[in-house]
Amino acid sequence: MSPTPSRVLVLNSGSSSVKYQLLDMRGGDRLAAGLVERIGEKSARLKHTPVGGESREWSGSVPDHDAALKAVAAELAKDGLGLDSPELAAIGHRVVHGGKRFTEPTVVDDAVLAEIERLIPVAPLHNPAGLAGIRTAQALRPDLPQVAVFDTAFHTTMPESAARYAIDVETADAHRIRRYGFHGTSHAYVSRETAKLLGRAPEDVNVIVLHLGNGASASAVRGGRCVDTSMGLTPLEGLVMGTRSGDMDPAVIFHLMRVGGMSADEIDTLLNKRSGLIGLCGDNDMREIRRRVDAGDERARLAFEIYIHRLKKYIGAYYAVLGRVDAVAFTAGVGENAAPVREAAVAGLEGLGLAVDGELNAVRGDGARLVSPADARVAVAVVPTDEEMEIATQTYALVEKER
């Protein structure tokens, strides 16, 4: 008798890229990982790494997501991990926008596809890519369950007081305008791992999660359930990010239209692509910004201070939302690696029980770890995120349940 299939392929399809990982859920092992980028451009690039083997790279024509997934399948096949393998249990897809309806990972059928499509107006860049990934995977393995794991799902537990904007209710509802939040897979995973690090059950722990990558968001998690998050209708709201402005007076937009003569599309590009750290100082990579700050560069210093000021405001706000905070967890590229960001974000918050230990904070490490002093009232933790593992775990749990 053949063993029960236990592998999950995770696909994260962006507008011009596909990231993937193949995992074996029996032991939680990663078997292969890779990335196709610049899809649809003159020369796309694929990088494939079988675990324990040499990475392979090539550049060439990859006109669309269909071609990208076929190229991924061909690379996996070279390592004996092809999509035709009977050991593959399911394909898990990251889907950015699940609206109000998708509160959990969901096996894809025609109705689910139609609903993801219906949400395109609120996620015009992201949902079409997710759909393309699902459709191609379905064509390659029509017999396999395809599971959609939504970036918004973890945030659907937010109370109306946090999820609604204070605008006319009829107008908001007619256009499905509300705060949905994103990076949910990461906030879910990191809040749970933080509880584990504290040796407590997630239900007993209140955590502020700071997901600081190129995109960045904060969330307030009470007993394992999200009660507030900083991104809103789209990922533009909240923290200062690599290229996004985060919070600002919405009247800036009317001003740019009326006085600056800019179109809606131009302002969209300005606020999403040319603002945040890159707009403030010309760089969005925190490593480069810190190098410039250390060299005495004034613009970089101001950009860093604006970034930290906003972060600190969210820590304070979510402290008030939660009432009692057990831990503040830093994650993603900046949160996991940039000790100066962690130090500056909690500087002066001793009154709230928050502090970092200089030595612990400076040590680089791979796993989840505490960086607060041993006697701190609130733990400050670095908790590496693993969105692919979380998508695979949720996908596998669902197909196991339905088996």
Using the rule CB under 6 A, is 333 a contact of ligand ADP? yes
Q: Minimum distance between the CB of residue 335 and ligand ADP, rounded to whole angstroms?
A: 8
Report the residue number, 108 or 391, with the smaller CB distance to ligand ADP: 391
Q: Which of 103, 214, 243, 269 binds ligand ADP (CB under 6 A)?
A: 214
Using the rule CB under 6 A, is 16 a contact of ligand ADP? no
Listed ranges 21-29, 68-76, 254-262, 327-335: which one lies at the site for ligand ADP (CB under 6 A): 327-335
Using the rule CB under 6 A, is 14 a contact of ligand ADP? no
Report the residue number, 16 or 337, with the smaller CB distance to ligand ADP: 337
Using the rule CB under 6 A, is 285 a contact of ligand ADP? yes
Using the rule CB under 6 A, is 243 a contact of ligand ADP? no
Helix H or strand E segment including 36 = strand 29-37
Cβ atoms of 82 and 7 within 8 Å: the answer is: no
Report the residue number, 37 or 247, with the smaller CB distance to ligand ADP: 37
201 is written with which tokens?
Answer: 């059950």
Q: Can you say how many angstroms the Cα of residue 168 is from the centroid of all Cα atoms in its chain?
A: 30
Q: Which of 198, 231, 334, 378 binds ligand ADP (CB under 6 A)?
A: 334
Q: Minimum distance between the CB of residue 330 and ligand ADP, rounded to whole angstroms?
A: 11
What CA–CA distance (Å, rounded) separates 190 from 9? Answer: 21
Q: Minimum distance between the CB of residue 40 and ligand ADP, rounded to whole angstroms?
A: 19
Listed ranges 50-58, 87-95, 285-293, 314-322: which one lies at the site for ligand ADP (CB under 6 A): 285-293
What CA–CA distance (Å, rounded) separates 250 from 233? Answer: 13
Q: Minimum distance between the CB of residue 192 and ligand ADP, rounded to whole angstroms?
A: 18
What CA–CA distance (Å, rounded) separates 395 from 148? Answer: 8
In Å, what is the CA distance from 193 to each residue of 72, 203, 281, 323, 330? 31, 12, 34, 21, 12
Q: Residue 120: CA atoms inside 13 Å, Cβ hemisphere, count? A: 10
**Encoded amino acid at 224, one letter:** G
Using the rule CB under 6 A, is 322 a contact of ligand ADP? no
Report the residue number, 101 or 301, with the smaller CB distance to ligand ADP: 301
Q: Minimum distance between the CB of residue 147 and ligand ADP, rounded to whole angstroms?
A: 21
Using the rule CB under 6 A, is 287 a contact of ligand ADP? yes
Cβ atoms of 372 and 73 within 8 Å: the answer is: no
Q: Minimum distance between the CB of residue 331 and ligand ADP, rounded to whole angstroms?
A: 8
Listed ranges 52-60, 201-209, 254-262, 283-291: which one lies at the site for ligand ADP (CB under 6 A): 283-291
Order of strands, sheet of 146-150, starting from the edge strand that comes earlier in the sequence = 56-60, 44-50, 29-37, 18-24, 7-13, 88-95, 146-150, 106-107
Beta carbons within 8 Å of 96's beta carbon, 6+ residues apart: 123, 126, 127, 130, 150, 151, 152, 182
Using the rule CB under 6 A, is 337 a contact of ligand ADP? yes
Q: In the complex, which residue's CB is closest to ligand ADP?
A: 333
Q: Which of 50, 133, 202, 215 binds ligand ADP (CB under 6 A)?
A: 215
The long-range contacts involving 370-375, CB below 8 angstroms and separated by at least 24 positions, are 370/197, 371/342
Q: Minimum distance between the CB of residue 235 and ligand ADP, rounded to whole angstroms?
A: 10
What CA–CA distance (Å, rounded) separates 146 from 138? Answer: 7
Q: Minimum distance between the CB of residue 161 and ligand ADP, rounded to whole angstroms?
A: 29
What is the set of active-site residues?
A: 151
Q: Which of 286, 344, 345, 355 binds ligand ADP (CB under 6 A)?
A: 286
Listed ranges 159-167, 200-208, 268-276, 332-340: which one lies at the site for ligand ADP (CB under 6 A): 332-340
Residues 222-241 that bind ligand ADP (CB under 6 A): none
Helix H or strand E segment including 253 = helix 251-258
Q: Residue 67: CA atoms inside 13 Å, Cβ hemisphere, count? A: 14
Angle at 84 between CA 81 and CA 88, to 5 degrees: 70
Signed CA dihedral, 294, 291, 187, 201: sign only: negative
| Residues that bind ligand ADP in the complex, under the rule CB under 6 A | 213-215, 242, 284-287, 332-334, 337-338
